[in-house]
Amino acid sequence: MKVYANQLVETLKQKSLRIFVVSGDEPLLVQESCDLVRRGLKAQGFVGRDLFYAESGFDWSGLLYSSNSMSLFAEKKLIEVRLPTGKPGDAGGKVLTELVSSLSEDNALLLVLPRADPSTQRTKWFKSVEAVAGFVQVWPIEAKELPKWLENRFRQAGLKVTRDALRAMAQRTEGNLLASVQEIQRLKLIVGEREVNVDDVNAGVADSARYDVFKLIDAGLAGDIKRCVRMTRGLKAEGIEPLFIVSMLVREIRSIESIKTAINQNRGAGQREAFKKARVWDKRVPLVTKCLDRHDSRSLQEMLLQLGSVDRTVKGLESGDPWRKLQDVVFRLAGLKGFSRVGAL
């Protein structure tokens, strides 16, 4: 059964589940969900804990041995399996399937893995585990939701905070929730009982924002120019290879171009089918739709040509600054044509 992360505490109280899958790419939220599962199972008597990291070369037989062996003090125990790749392979899949089908009442199981994509969820081993488990999918906090999330964290820490301070904190720690929590704890020690203001944030909060290419692309699709500027600068500062960004942008723009072509050929009909064929997740449909409304086939093709210029510039076949050219493409994707006037790199 699917379990929402914000309802995990209630689920643990009401359901007698002993098997959980926690999946997600946000380390802090995954860790907190796992902590809740451990505490809930401990309250049910699962005091012992065997922890396994199923990395390359992992001996899956040890997992079955742990399940079949009794503790020295005959206590119930939690078997926790960390699967960094999210893919156990054939051998691991068979063991996990066998494990959940034969798990004794004295054992509980917690499987922790990165975001389980649709292909993973369709595998035989995952279906067999999910059928008897609480499946907790942990989603990242979107940029627009971050100020509200931070406000709740400040409240939990017993602090009041101004709106300007929340916005400043969100900008400086976007993409790094762990840094957000650490900074809130630090501010609690500094400000005491008074309200946290923007000066407190600006004076002490390090710029801990972490950006990734996919968030940059989403910002471009959404037409969020200011965020595109911050994220492009962040990626450059982190030493991300521009050719990687180029390849991801090419893939995204070609996908959007194929959707545009399919819709045009059907005279506006079949948009849902076009999205499905291009494997656009429901969550991203509004972003892609905005981009489709903003661009025609010609502008999409021109952006692909610009990305080709970036590629040649990186390889020394053309002159110029590849990051500046790359930024221009991102700005154009976001709908801005006068990009030279906006925060150059």
**Residue 63: which of 111, 26, 25 has the closest Cα?**
111
Q: Say if residue 344's pLDDT is above 70.
A: no
Residues 6+ apart with CB under 8 A from 10: none
Lowest mean pLDDT among 71-75, 302-306, 312-316, 338-342: 338-342
The whole-angstrom separation of Cα 41 and Cα 59 is 26
DSSP secondary structure string, 252-312?
HHHHHHHHHHHHHHTTT--HHHHHHHTT--GGGHHHHHHHHHH--HHHHHHHHHHHHHHHH
Q: Determine the average pLDDT of the residues in 329-338.
A: 86
pLDDT of residue 73: 56
What domains appear along the chain, each with residue ranges and CATH number?
Answer: 2-138 (3.40.50.300), 143-204 (1.10.8.60), 213-341 (1.20.272.10)
Lowest mean pLDDT among 182-186, 199-203, 279-283, 332-336: 279-283
DSSP secondary structure string, 114-138?
S---HHHHTSHHHHHHHTTSEEEEE
pLDDT of residue 343: 54
Q: Say if residue 129's pLDDT is above 70.
A: yes
**Residue 110: which of 69, 77, 88 has the closest Cα?**
77
219-235 pLDDT, tens digit per residue, is 999 999 989 998 999 88
Global model pTM greater than 0.85: no
The whole-angstrom separation of Cα 287 and Cα 292 is 9
**Residue 136: which of 221, 272, 255, 15 has the closest Cα?**
15
pLDDT of residue 269: 54
287-309 pLDDT, tens digit per residue, is 999 999 999 989 999 999 999 99
pLDDT of residue 159: 94
Contact call for residues 330 and 338 (beta carbons, < 8 A) = no
Single-letter amino acid code for the residue at 272: R
Lowest mean pLDDT among 54-58, 60-64, 73-77: 73-77
Torsional class of 175: left (φ above 0), alpha (ψ -120 to 50), beta (otherwise): left
Contact call for residues 84 and 74 (beta carbons, < 8 A) = no
The whole-angstrom separation of Cα 100 and Cα 129 is 6
Single-letter amino acid code for the residue at 285: V
Q: Could you give the 3-state DSSP secondary structure of residue 9?
A: helix
